[in-house]
Every structure is written in C-alpha cells, then in structure tokens.
Amino acid sequence: MGKYEAFIDIRRQLHEIPELGFCEEKTQHYLLNYMQSLPQTFLEIKTWKTGIVVKVNGTDPTGLLGYRTDIDGLPIQEETGYEFASKHNGQMHACGHDFHMSIALGVLTHFANHQPKDDLLFIFQPAEEGPGGAKPMLESEILQEWRPTQMVALHIAPEHPVGTIATKEGLLFANTSELFINVHGKGGHAAYPHTANDMVVAAAHLITQLQTIVARNIDPLDSAVITIGKITGGTKQNIIAEKARIEGTIRTLSLPSMDKIKKRIEHVVAGIEEAFECKASIDYGANYCQVYNEEKLTREFINFSKQAGTVTVYECKEAMTGEDFGYFLDEIPGFMFWLGVDSPHGLHDAKIRPDEQAIEIAIDHLIAYFEYKQNQ
C-alpha cells in the first residue's frame, strides 16, 4: 500500500459528488468532516460561502505560503464507466478538481501532523468553472486578514505522463471571457418567410462572421481563439425562429487583443441587427485574467523539482486554457504547474480517466517543496 493511498479513496468519494459553482454544499461538508478529523493543535478553519480556508500556524513564521485548490464540477453527463461514477445526474468532475482536492488534503494532513516553521494557508475555492470564485474570495475578509506572501496551485494535464510536471516562467494560461449573444426577430410559418424575420439565419450569419475576427484583426504573431460551443433557436421544424442564442468563449494571450476582439464582436453584432432588422444583446459572462507565473519563484520551483529527482520536469509552452487562479497571481507572486495524469481523453471530456498514481506523486512532491521553502 502506498504512503498516500488513502487519498485515492478520498478522490473517488469526491468524484461521486460533483457540484456546480457556489453549490458545493456536499463537497464542503465532506471536506470539513475530514479536516475536523485531523489534529487541531495548530489548525484554524474558516468557511467562505461554499469554500474553506485552513491556516496551519507555524513555529516561527516569517511568511504565509498559500496553496489553492478548486472544488467545483462541470455540467457534463459522465461516461467513464467508473464504479465510483458521479451520483449527480448531469454533473461530473471532468476537469480534475477531485484530484486537486485530494492532493490538497494529503499535503494538509502532513502539516497538520508535522508543524511547519512558516505559516501555511490552504484555500479550497468554489466556482472556478464559473461564475468565478477566485476574485470574490480574494476580496473576502478572511483573505484580507490571512494574506499569503506566495501562492501555488496545480492543474492535471491528461496529455503528460504520470511522474511528470510542466510549467514555465511568465504567461502560462490565457485571458478568457465567456460569450453569450441573443438575437430577437419575428417568428412565423415556414411557408411564409416574407412575413417573418428568421433568427436561425441571422445566428448562422453571425457565427460565420465571428470566425473572421481573429483571422483578420489579430496580429498573426499574437494568438486568440473565438469558439462557439452551443447554438439554440426555434421551437419546431416548420416554424420560423423568433429567437436564437449562441454561447461560446474568447481566449487571448494579451489583454489588448481581448479588448480588440470584444469591440469587433460589438461591431459585427450591430451589423447583424441592421442587416436582419432584429435586436441583439451581448453578455461576456465570467472573465478570467491570464495566469502569469512570477519568474523567480517559478525558476526556483523548476530547479528544486529537477534536483529532487522524483519527477520529470518539462518547461512547457503557454496554453489557451482559462483559470481564475490568475486573479491570485495578479495580486500575489506565485505560480501554477501542470501535473501529468496520462489520460487518452482530455479535460472537460465525459470519458476522462486520469491515472490515480499521480495523486501520491503530487502529494509527496508538494510536501517536499513546502518543507524546502521552510528553510529559505
């Protein structure tokens, strides 16, 4: 039996109860029950909405090292075939937050039993997948009082083998914005199109035009993506649709490109209103800033990881992935890294099956890193 094998069981139990952002009540209850089973001598536990913050008081603190895990699931119907598959219909831990939580609990357990020199802060953050828990949590009274001097987080990476981690200095993840556009015209009978104003046709033209924005407005040496992932419109095959809605996401590697894309979207939508004599509205939903790894701390972590010899370290390229951990790094120096979990199915896939061996590897490596930081 592995040293941290119990946390594989914890991951499986958490996998069964995924909950959407700010609805993680069962998850919070499970986490609190576990935390309260630990020695409480130098722990302080506080709740914030459906999240939790745990402070481990050190023997001779000179700083407060923060570690963040996300706790919410996704609105996806699971297709893994697991015996411990989600018990919540239409909800799944398809982004690895069950892994993230079990790893955080493993590291917390170690330091609840082995008091560190410096204070440690474990942040169990809700609503990473939306509408965004990091920013309001940072603004909470708890994190104003317990303000970390450094922040660390990880994210599972299905494309990397178990036993590997990957990160880089500087920009790691993109700026992101949700995108929701509604168009409203006039419905009618399919046999009399001249008496109606078809919003399925308007939405189709809009989607086509949106796909030209990056190609013809963003510097080819920069990078940006507009993806439309969902279209809804109409009620029946022989009724002209009065309304249609498109839902998507915007990803950019620079803030100026995000601003430019949004302005172009607004111009294109105004043109659709004029061309199709309809009304349209735009909602950018949740916006996440880039994940930018502080250079010195990231380089220190990379060098430590290489010297530790327990993992293989890759220096990766930036990705178009979105993560609201960027809000922490916008105010507090730190970094995020990828944890290899070797799954043929990727993030947000209903069939994703990360390799659970990665849990023990991550717990062991993070404990070693945090102990190393105590001596700096």
Q: Domain ranges in the chain?
A: 6-172+291-374, 175-287
Which amino acid does the sequence have at 343? S
pLDDT value, residue 2: 72
Tell me the C-alpha distance between 257 and 51, whole Å.
Answer: 33
Which residue in 16, 19, 128, 129 is the catalytic one? 129
Helix axes 97-113, 6-15, angle to 10 degrees: 140
Number of C-beta neighbours around residue 149 at 10 A: 15
Helix axes 357-374, 6-15, angle to 10 degrees: 120
pLDDT value, residue 340: 98
pLDDT value, residue 1: 46
309 contacts: CB under 8 Å, gap ≥ 6: none
325 close to 153: Cβ distance less than 8 angstroms? yes
277 contacts: CB under 8 Å, gap ≥ 6: 185, 197
pLDDT value, residue 81: 98
Across the chain, which has 376 residues, the per-10-residue mean pLDDT values are: 87 98 98 98 98 98 97 98 98 98 98 98 97 96 98 98 98 96 98 97 98 95 95 97 98 95 98 97 94 98 96 95 96 98 97 98 98 91
When the candidates are 3.40.50.300, 3.40.190.10, 3.40.630.10, 3.30.830.10, the CATH number that belongs to 6-172+291-374 is 3.40.630.10
pLDDT value, residue 3: 84
Which residue in 70, 118, 128, 360 is the catalytic one? 70
- The question of whether 70 is a catalytic residue gets the answer yes
Tell me the C-alpha distance between 125 and 138, whole Å.
Answer: 10
User: Which SS3 state, helix, strand or coil, does residue 124 take?
Assistant: strand
Class of domain 175-287: alpha beta
Judged by phi (left if over 0) then psi (alpha if -120 to 50, else beta), residue 288 lies in beta
The tokens of 330 are what?
């916008």
- The question of whether 129 is a catalytic residue gets the answer yes
Tell me the C-alpha distance between 309 and 304, whole Å.
Answer: 9
Predicted structure pTM score? 0.92
The distance in angstroms from the start CA to the end CA of the chain is 33
